[in-house]
Amino acid sequence: MKKVFAFMLAAVLMLGCLAGCASDTSSDMKYVKDKGTLVVGVTVFEPMDYQDASGEWKGFDADLAKAFAAHLGVDVQFQKIDWGSKVSELDTKTIDVVWNGMTLTDEVLAAMETSNAYCKNAQVVVVKSDVADQYQTADSVKSLKYAVESGSAGKEQVEAMNASFVEVDDQAMALTEVKMGTSEAAVIDLLMAGAMIGEGTDYAELTYTVSLNSEEYGVGFRKGSDLAAELNEFFKSYYASGDMMKLAKEYGVQESIIEQK
């Protein structure tokens, strides 16, 4: 009887410990505040996230992330990630948030806790300017050979066309493939196309033609994270104060901003 009682007592204590441990770690916001740093997963994606000559991360999303970290009272750290591994990076706590012009696809919504949409976008076909007149319709671009970022919304659009493609690490590399002639086309975000290709850029010989869809950006946290709700409240106040639109104008994305209510 004593052995049975001791076993039952140990089981109760173990359950209590597990419950206590769970309550200590159930708040993602507490976890981030306790360690004092918000680790933001990014790729090179101008004008959302990119590095200046000194190596500092800047851009519309990067500056929003800095403002949110200040709101939480923590430091911000930017971590370059493989976009195709963004969910596992979150789940293993290598990063705390994916904040990188992320399209709110069904896959993303199922795998992450996401913020409200804050920015409109589309996936567009990028080709060399001297052949652009040949690729002005959805049917005409199906035969092209593409470079796409691994795990991206652009890849999904190319797969939906049943077009051939190669996967690369980021959208900038997809543009380089087209520039070098190793791929005929790329599918990238419209906001990135507006900032990175055409006259006065490193990709002056490229242009975009067909828009393949319309979409919205959101910010992704670990599934069940309370940081998503906190960010939604931050977005509301940041929009209402005019700071969000001021920042958007700085990076030329003001036409894409979604009102935060």
Domains annotated on the chain, with CATH: 27-120+217-256 (3.40.190.10), 123-213 (3.40.190.10)
Q: How far apart are CA 121 and CA 102, in angstroms?
A: 10
Q: What is the mean pLDDT of residues 228-234?
A: 98
pLDDT band at 195 (very low <50, low <70, confident <90, very high): confident
For residue 6, give every residue at least 6 positions away whose Cβ sits within 8 Å of its Cβ, in sequence order, or none. Answer: none
**pLDDT at residue 4, rounded to an integer:** 43
Structure tokens at 221: 């946290």
For position 8, what pLDDT does the model report? Answer: 45
Strand-pair category, 123-128 with 113-114: unpaired
Per-residue confidence (pLDDT) for residue 121, from 0 to 100? 92
pLDDT in tens, 121-176: 999 999 999 999 999 999 999 999 999 999 999 999 999 999 999 999 999 999 99
| pLDDT, position 26 | 78
CB-CB contact of 184 with 127 (8 Å): yes
Whether the per-residue pLDDT at 10 is higher than 60: the answer is no
126 and 193 Cβ atoms separated by less than 8 Å: yes
> Tokens 């490229």 appear where?
206
- pTM for the model stands at 0.77
> Rounded to whole angstroms, what are the CA distances from 47 to 6, 164, 248, 251?
63, 28, 10, 6
**pLDDT beyond 70 at 23:** no
Query: Does residue 230 carry a pLDDT above 80?
Result: yes
> What confidence score (pLDDT) does residue 2 get?
43
Mean pLDDT of 202-213: 95
Token representation of residue 50: 């990119």
Q: Considering the chain, what is the average pLDDT of its residues?
A: 91
pLDDT in tens, 60-81: 999 999 999 999 999 999 999 9
> What single-letter amino acid sits at 260?
Q
Say if residues 123 and 138 touch (Cβ distance below 8 Å).
Answer: no
What was the pLDDT predicted at 20? Answer: 40
pLDDT for the residue 194: 86
Q: Of 99, 98, 104, which Cα lies nearest the Cα of 116?
A: 104
Q: What region does 32 belong to: left with phi over 0, alpha with psi -120 to 50, or beta? A: alpha
pLDDT digits (tens, 9 = 90+) for 129-139: 999 999 999 99
Q: How far apart are CA 127 and CA 149, in angstroms?
A: 16
Is the confidence at residue 12, as pLDDT, over 60?
Answer: no
